[in-house]
Structure 1
Amino acid sequence: MTTTFRALLGATALCAAGSVAAAQDPVTLTIATVNNGDMIRMQQMTGAFTEANPNITLEWVTLEENVLRERVTTDIATNGGQYDVLTIGTYEVPIWAAQEWLTPLSDLPEDYDVDDLVPAVRDALSVDDTLYAAPFYAESAMVMYRTDLAEAAGVTISDNPTWTEITAAAEAMTDRDAEIYGICLRGKPGWGENMAFLTAMSNSYGARWFDTEWTPQFDSPEWQATLTDYLTLMNEYGPPGASSNGFNENLSLFQQGKCGMWIDATVAASFVTDPEDSTVADSVGFAQFPNKDGVDNHGNWLWAWNLAIPASSQKQDAAKAFVAWATSKEYTDMVAEAEGWRAAPPGTRTSLYENPAYQEAAPFAAMTLESINAAETQKASVQDIPYTGGQFVAIPEFQGIGTQVGQTFSAALAGQMSAEDALAAAQSTTAREMARAGYPK
């Protein structure tokens, strides 16, 4: 560990390291991040870091999820060096680490306590036991629902619901005259938008992207059932314009009281139960991601938004200091002190879920951890598969293929084609691109 890095790490403990940092040369870190609530909160909290490190200036590039992925992928693949810290997902970390595009985080300070990271999350961000990204927050997926609407409609949502149960509840809670929609799901195209949800849903239906010979399976009855039921749910009980709705749009709809149910990332729980932003904060229940009747697989995904340092950055020491600070236990404590324990970044640290104050403030804590621990990323389908990943296929080609298929399925949701035509197009597109990439390898 370099002397400079040791000096900068004082920020991790939020200590008064300004006098040490001030002796260093001025540094500007360019940080690419996603425009979701937790990351925006992080930007608002960085005064403690810059106060302890007055020589470091933070420059933010905040982007919508699909745009962020496109720009950081292009930059790192071309060794562009535009960014010093990247916000990337669980999908990219092992693939980019294997390409030697990321800086190993093997020299984080002892008080960072790497062993406190939730094992499933730490393993997902490591290659050969070396950590290549630090998790800012982690998530699985679950059902969030209006308990008041469910009660008024006379329906019960169990802790481990089936899709049959979810469909019946969506029908019962829909009141289009009152602009209340029984269910809100992702429709915006993108491998990490609608295809994250639909891949998880397909897993719960017993489907798979590829068989063991890497042949696409969109012509299977399981995928036919998945897409048909998804379109039925959204067309009959979903909001208008759903093909444009991603995580942020559905979050807003739920907070406004317009969704009976929303099945999405567990990280949303703190936002839908925040009385300052959510009109339904006091009437939200939680359940596991549904499964299809007769299929023993709830389709839980595992995802983390992480901070990583591209190997091309010329400001490694300062970047490591920032990453260590932003993903530390001390940062979590600082958020809790400022905004309450419910707002603490979830899913990354075991100590958070052992904290009685967090357990009391976050009624979703136990369900979140249960969902994360239940994720089967090594074998996401009940059928035999040649790939890993929960809501994605962990191969480099998936980013492009998943986006193309996502565009096709979004077009079906918008009424531009039938489910049958969308599945046929997905089968053709995926087979062509996989052959072009040389699969099976």
Structure 2
Amino acid sequence: MRKFTLLALTAALTVTSAHAQTLKWDAYKGTTLRVLLNQHPWTTAMQDHFAEFEKLTGIRLVTETYPEAQFRQKVLVELSTGGQNLDAFMLSPGQEGQLYAKSGWVEDMAGYVNSKTKTAGNWGSSDFYPSVVNSTKYAGIMTGVPIQTETTMLFYRKDLFQKYGVAVPKTLAQLEAAAKTLNRKDGVAGIALRGKGASATSQFAPYMYAVGSSWLKDGQANFTDPKFVKAMTYYTNLLRNYGPQAAVTMSWPEVTNLFAQGKVAMFTDASLFRSIVDDPKSSSVAGKVGFAAVPGRKPTVTTWALAISKGSSKKDAAWLFTQWATNRQNQLRVLLKDVPAVRRSVWNDRAFKAQDKNPEWTQAHLSQLAGATPLWNPPVSQVGEVRDALGQAIVGILQGGNVNDLLKRANDSTNTILSKER
């Protein structure tokens, strides 16, 4: 398998050589680029290959990698003060895209992607999943080029489903019925979901979309919409009736840990958590985990991208790095390291198919990309503040508070936040 993978990468390197014939990769030889990176699996998979870019282009990369909270704060501070010393950086469009686009802090990558002179002819922009590309667009600006993606997914215990004759749920009604049937069987909770304030909002989104509601309506918060209330009531009732104790303390580490310990029958969350719950090194239920599309069939898609600072004086050199980092060869590399790729072609590559450890997961993940919505967060500039407002309502509801009253309070708080953005 290793030999085959190396052959595939050698072939991909030939593609890179072909790129070099159609694009002057050494046009900015001697340039130094400063790149800020999140401490992320994509970064881990790619950083040992950065020397290849330097050899190809003669450009020196100065990379800085930080844990996510510190990374986000550092990028925000640098961009808000002009961004002249920052050339390229990782970006989570669903978190910062609207703010950065409206503030004029990032380059519109569409101009680079569509350029016949700045972009290698066989770079292949059409190879990217459209839903993933759309997830980078805010305020009419393509804020970055995608580098990895994830979708919402159902994780479930195949052994328990088989033992108790439960079918894999496809609808919200079936999900609740499965949670009820499996709850307290063999000492497990029926389902685990995030309940810890702001962290719960992104995983509530597929339930909201499944009943036909949305974050906003006519530029105002939509939290008092009857369908929104219905979705929130459903989500919190699942946790209160069939979830583990202390649901208000659970974000993704707690949810995945409980499932990996064999204490939960199923959960819905980001697809990348397969690496935790189905790994024998970290999970007591590895080999017993099933994967399926999220019930209700309204998944979200989350993306990390590479962006270019509007204040940089080296934008074209930064674009060389961006298109190199997102070419087919490097997308295959990260996929072979279990980082979900954003190019369609690499999922069909023989090297990946030869080492695909769980085709069921691959099918569930890929089947959702075409119809997934990028709005896993409210499409506002002050995402954090709005998530906090709604997160407080979620905690209050889980603790027994009135759903309508708490959502009305969150609605009013959000509209106050939105009024300051105008």
Which bin holds the TM-score, normalised by the shorter protein?
0.7 to 0.9
Quickly say closer, same or farther: Cα 1:177–1:147, change in 2 above 3 A: closer
Paired residues of 1:123 and 1:129 also in contact (CA < 8 A) = no
- Where does structure 2 lack aligned partners over 5 or more consecutive residues? 1-12, 113-117
Quickly say closer, same or farther: Cα 1:63–1:125, change in 2 above 3 A: closer
Are 1:345 and 2:330 matched, yes or no?
Answer: no
Are 1:412 and 2:407 matched, yes or no?
Answer: no
What is the one-letter code of the residue matched to 1:120? S
Secondary structure of the corresponding residue to residue 181 of structure 1: coil
Aligned to 1:390: 375
Aligned to 1:403: 388
Distance across 1 between alignment mates of 2:196 and 2:366: 27
What is the one-letter code of the residue matched to 1:330? Q
Deviation at residue 371 of structure 1 after TM alignment = 0.9
Choose from 193, 198, 220 the match for 1:185.
193
Paired residues of 2:151 and 2:270 also in contact (CA < 8 A) = yes
Quickly say closer, same or farther: Cα 1:123–1:428, change in 2 above 3 A: closer
Are 1:354 and 2:338 matched, yes or no?
Answer: no
Aligned to 2:295: 290
Paired residues of 2:216 and 2:378 also in contact (CA < 8 A) = no
Distance across 2 between alignment mates of 1:323 and 1:432: 38
1:147-197 deviations in Å (ceiling 9; x for gaps): 112122321114xx122211222233333884x33222122333xx32112
Aligned to 1:3: none
What is the one-letter code of the residue matched to 1:168? A
Deviation at residue 282 of structure 1 after TM alignment = 1.8
Choose from 250, 258, 277 the match for 1:253.
258
Quickly say closer, same or farther: Cα 1:274–1:81, change in 2 above 3 A: farther
Aligned to 2:367: 370
Map 1:199-214 to 2 at 5 A. 199-212=205-218, 214=219
Deviation at residue 57 of structure 1 after TM alignment = 3.5
Distance across 2 between alignment mates of 1:432 and 1:350: 42
Deviation at residue 76 of structure 1 after TM alignment = 2.4
Aligned to 2:410: 426
1:390-417 deviations in Å (ceiling 9; x for gaps): 323323244432332223323433x274
Aligned to 2:106: 102
Distance across 1 between alignment mates of 2:74 and 2:395: 22
Choose from 74, 82, 87 the match for 1:79.
82
Aligned to 2:3: none
Quickly say closer, same or farther: Cα 1:257–1:122, change in 2 above 3 A: same
Root-mean-square deviation over aligned CA pairs: 3.6
Distance across 2 between alignment mates of 1:130 and 1:110: 23
Quickly say closer, same or farther: Cα 1:437–1:133, change in 2 above 3 A: closer
Deviation at residue 94 of structure 1 after TM alignment = 6.0
Deviation at residue 132 of structure 1 after TM alignment = 3.8
- Where does structure 1 lack aligned partners over 5 or more consecutive residues? 1-9, 292-297, 378-388
Distance across 2 between alignment mates of 1:268 and 1:14: 35
What is the one-letter code of the residue matched to 2:48? G
The TM-score with structure 2 as length reference comes to 0.77
Distance across 2 between alignment mates of 1:75 and 1:412: 38
Choose from 148, 170, 174 the match for 2:179.
170
1:53-78 deviations in Å (ceiling 9; x for gaps): 374342211224xx655553454234
Distance across 1 between alignment mates of 2:99 and 2:156: 36
The TM-score with structure 1 as length reference comes to 0.75
Are 1:122 and 2:122 matched, yes or no?
Answer: no
Secondary structure of the corresponding residue to residue 67 of structure 2: strand
What is the one-letter code of the residue matched to 1:186? R
Deviation at residue 316 of structure 1 after TM alignment = 4.2
Paired residues of 1:302 and 1:391 also in contact (CA < 8 A) = yes
Aligned to 1:295: none
What is the one-letter code of the residue matched to 1:102? V
Quickly say closer, same or farther: Cα 1:404–1:155, change in 2 above 3 A: same
What is the one-letter code of the residue matched to 1:258? K
What is the one-letter code of the residue matched to 1:349? R
Secondary structure of the corresponding residue to residue 141 of structure 1: strand
Alignment identity in percent? 25
Deviation at residue 229 of structure 1 after TM alignment = 2.2
Distance across 2 between alignment mates of 1:315 and 1:239: 52
Paired residues of 1:12 and 1:112 also in contact (CA < 8 A) = no
Distance across 1 between alignment mates of 2:36 and 2:133: 22
Paired residues of 1:200 and 1:390 also in contact (CA < 8 A) = no
How many residue pairs align between the two structures? 389
